[in-house]
Structure formats: C-alpha cells, structure tokens
C-alpha cells in the first residue's frame, strides 16, 4: 500500500509503542511478518516524549533528551533514530530542536534504506 501511494517501497518497520521491536527481544510474530515483507525492524534511540504534557519538544524535554544522547554516545552509536510524533506542538518546536541537535554536533542525512 505504501509503495502504491508514494512510489517508494518501505525497507524498515517500527512496531507501535516499540512493542516487540527491541534488539534480541523481537516478538516472533513481528519478526515473521517483517521477514515476509523484507523489512528490517528498528526502534528509537532517543524518545522525545513530545506527546506528553507539555506537548512538543520544549526545554524540559531537552534535558531528558540530552541524557539519552549522552548515553547513546557512550555506547559508541553514530547513527540514531529519534522518535517524534505528528503533532502541531512538535512541528512548532522542530526548528529549535534541529538547532539544538546541530549545536550538539549532529548532522543530518537522507533516511537510510
């Protein structure tokens, strides 16, 4: 369905709420379906919690995100998946969040296939 609408064949899947999608703990049904569709299973490294009140990615959320970023760096990760939701508040905060990430040394690239 996604390819039919967008013209792009998906290569990745993230299960709702991250359920069954963590490394080495994949839900057997999720794994079976993902393999049958040639999808790799991915989850987030950074949870912005943009859905929690106050909604968006404001200063209180940045403190929590900063801790997650440092923990990921300490594990030697160089590519991170950031979980955000389609919300007006998140869209509003996105320019400041991108600026924060760039100032923290991050770069951006096209999504990996």
Are 48 and 37 in the same domain? no
What's the pLDDT tens digit per position in 62-96? 999 999 998 988 888 888 888 999 999 999 999 99
What's the pLDDT tens digit per position in 30-51? 889 999 999 998 888 899 999 9
pLDDT at 98: 93
The domain total for the chain is 2
Task: Give the domain extent around 55.
Answer: 44-113
DSSP 16: G
Stated pTM of the model: 0.75
Are 30 and 57 in the same domain? no
Q: Report d(CA 66, CA 52) in Å as an integer.
A: 17
Alpha carbon 47 to chain centroid distance?
7
Are 106 and 73 in the same domain? yes
Are 60 and 93 in the same domain? yes
How large is the average pLDDT for residues 21-33?
82
65-81 burial code (b ≥16 CB/10 A, e <16): beebbeebeeeeeeeeb
Are 105 and 70 in the same domain? yes
pLDDT at 105: 84
DSSP 25-51: ---HHHHHHHHHTT-EE---SEE--TT
């Amino acid at each position: 369905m996604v390819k039919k609408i967008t013209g792009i064949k998906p290569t990745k899947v993230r299960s709702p709420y991250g359920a069954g999608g963590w490394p080495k703990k994949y839900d057997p049904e999720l794994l079976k379906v993902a393999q049958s569709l040639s999808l790799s299973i991915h989850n987030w490294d950074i949870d912005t919690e943009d859905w929690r009140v106050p909604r968006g990615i404001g200063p209180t959320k940045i403190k929590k995100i900063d801790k997650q970023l440092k923990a990921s760096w300490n594990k030697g990760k160089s590519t991170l998946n950031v979980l955000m939701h389609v919300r007006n508040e998140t869209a509003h905060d996105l320019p400041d969040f991108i600026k924060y990430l760039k100032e923290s040394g991050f770069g951006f690239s096209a999504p990996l296939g």
